[in-house]
Structure 1
Amino acid sequence: MFARTDLIRRIGGFDEDFSLYGEDRDLCLSIRRAGFRRARREHTWEMRFERVFALMNLI
């Protein structure tokens, strides 16, 4: 998920009351309520480093 910085600031960012999971969905709903719409990009990819970070926390 990508969003412009000014948009995130305008809606107040992520709701910190979410401790785990759901904060991204809530952010999307807040963006939609603010009158913006979603856009989908074809042919995009992402790289995740979750396993590396998980191992780093054990050290």
Structure 2
Amino acid sequence: MKTIVFLRNRGPQFKPIEEEFEFEDNSTDKEIIDAFEDWVWDEVGEEFTWFEKEEDK
């Protein structure tokens, strides 16, 4: 097993967020990147959104 640390640094006024993940020794970079992308979306998913602006009538 290998331990990979995902880090979110929001700037000097915030404490960095670190989370450790265990991967099999033969895990590929793609598998780690996929897990990392899922983690990033989980971290910021509630802070960001999009919507269509309604036209003024």
> Structure 1 length as normaliser, TM-score?
0.29
Greater C-alpha radius of gyration: 2
Larger % of strand: which?
Answer: 2
Larger % of helix: which?
Answer: 1
- Pick 1 or 2: higher relative contact order, CA cutoff 8 A, min separation 6: 2
